[in-house]
Amino acid sequence: MTEAFTKIPEEKQKHILNVCIEEFAKNGFHSTSTDVITTKAGISKGILFHYFKNKKNLYMYILKSVTEEFTKLFTEELNKISSLEFFDRIKEATILKYKISMLYPKESELMLKAFINPPSDLEKEINKLYINIASLSQEIYQKQLFNYMKEETLKDGISKEKAIEASILLLEAYSNRLMQHYKGKEEELLNSMESVIKDLNEYIEIIKYGIYK
């Protein structure tokens, strides 16, 4: 589908992609105009649709490219974490995501809008992409985070598997609450990341030390 697009010069590819990212991040799928994209990119609509056939294919190509690049960058940075303690690594991983989101605000806003509030006619394709990325992330987390939880640091009677499962459940619940709260307000979430990280760290402390004195 995109073979013709991948054959054009890399600099031109990047320019077209950057224009698409900016427009889709700002306006969402339905409100983005392909006329605006082609004008800013300096190409005709015929050429754009020669590359991608239609707007849906274009959007999914952009979203997939951005998500894969974000995952690649996050993984590379995660490999640089030096701490050997499980919860310290979770905190550092969270901060890493925040930093990357701040470095790439348009790309981050595009992903947030897509995954938090997917267009109804693209929901199936976006959910499939999300599941694929989540599966890859699970492998990364297993290697870079979960393997660092040490059995000897746990209270008697608590297994490593249950401790990891409880940690994941709480963090996923917190993430799902965020997604619901900021649905339709994705830009506000990006601007609130410091507060989000503070809250997340408090939840991590609860997991780590419990709630009783």
The predicted-structure confidence for 43-73, as pLDDT tens digits, reads as follows 999 999 999 999 999 999 999 999 999 999 9
Residues in the chain: 213
Region 175-204: what's the mean pLDDT?
79
pLDDT at 15: 96
CB contact set of 140 (below 8 Å; sequence gap of 6+): 71, 74, 75, 78
CB contact set of 208 (below 8 Å; sequence gap of 6+): 87
**Fold annotation for 60-209:** Tetracycline Repressor; domain 2 (1.10.357)
The predicted-structure confidence for 94-152, as pLDDT tens digits, reads as follows 888 878 888 888 998 999 899 988 999 999 999 999 998 888 888 888 888 888 888 88
pLDDT at 212: 65
Band of the pLDDT at 86, cuts 50, 70, 90? Answer: confident
Band of the pLDDT at 175, cuts 50, 70, 90? Answer: confident
Q: What residues does each domain of the chain span?
A: 60-209
The pTM score is 0.80
